[in-house]
Amino acid sequence: MDPYALLPGVKVAAREAGRLILSLYDSGQYQSEHKDDDSPVTSADLAAHDYLDKALRGLADIPVLSEEGGDISLQERESWPRYWLVDPLDGTQEFIAGSGDFTTMIALVDQGKPVLGVVYGPVHDLMYFAVRGHGAFKEVAGETSQIHARHHDTAPLTRLRVAISRRQDVEWVKSRLHTDLKCQLLPLGSSSLKSCLVAEGGADCYIRIGPTGEWDTGATQCIVEEAGGRLLDLSLEQLSYNRRESLTNPNFITLGDARLPWQQMLVQPE
């Protein structure tokens, strides 16, 4: 299976899912409820899930693991050499709040590693995509450019640019970093957009403390790594995929320049 050959079809599927989501977003004709973990889910999440489940199986006849269909035992999943990993609507709270900062995320995971990633934000017609070994790219309104994480090769680092959620407490975020550097906080919506901001060099890091699923990082991990960055847990170890019964991620950090002293700069949560 050639991930690069699948990329055009995945991009089309992401755009079509985004179109479905956007039609409900613009009309306001959607229903919202809370799941057992108290996280919100809307009819837009479910419509995008239903579409992507069929579309991706049509591209490659392999399993689909989606946030809205993730109740599959490890006993079944561990037999999968490869599968689609999908968050149909990343940033459901942003969707409900009307900020526009939400995306569709699609990854292809092969032997436990994300080898293709697509993130599409329909409101701004913004797409990030990558295939392992082929670089990372950003496409806006039909214009495509290669992206690179910010590295500090020559000039000394004097200011750390940190992507944060609009709904996080600023002082709490600052307390996670033990550094004398000035911190410029860059608020954004969905987790995927914050990681992609690091991938394109717009931020130095994004720290996520709180519950996420493997579908929240699969696509962005491929994009970030192909852009020259890293997406790691807070012990700076690689994330794993489809290795545990639980699909919940550890707390993680997306960073642009792995050579910075992150081990000393990160304050571990209690």
- With cut-offs at 50, 70 and 90, classify the pLDDT of residue 171: confident
Over range 99-114, report the average pLDDT: 96
CATH class name, domain 159-265: alpha beta
Ranges of CATH 3.30.540.10 domains, the chain? 3-147
Over range 109-113, report the average pLDDT: 96
Q: Is the confidence at residue 269, as pLDDT, over 80?
A: no
List b or e across 191-220, with b for residues whose CB sees 16 or more CB atoms inside 10 angstroms: bbbbbbbbbbbbbbbbbbbeebbbbbbbbb
Write down the pLDDT at residue 32. Answer: 87
Q: Of 241, 247, 252, which Cα lies nearest the Cα of 83?
A: 241
- With cut-offs at 50, 70 and 90, classify the pLDDT of residue 182: confident
Q: How many CA atoms lie within 13 A of 131 on its CB side?
A: 11
Over range 56-73, report the average pLDDT: 93
Q: Is the confidence at residue 233, as pLDDT, over 90?
A: yes
Ranges of CATH 3.40.190.80 domains, the chain? 159-265
CATH class name, domain 3-147: alpha beta
Write down the pLDDT at residue 177. Answer: 86
Euclidean distance between CA atoms 139 and 143, whole angstroms: 5
Q: Is the confidence at residue 268, as pLDDT, over 90?
A: no
Q: Is the confidence at residue 36, as pLDDT, over 80?
A: no
Lowest-confidence range among 26-35, 52-61, 81-90, 231-240? 26-35
Residue type, 143: E
- A 10 A CB-CB count for 18 gives 24
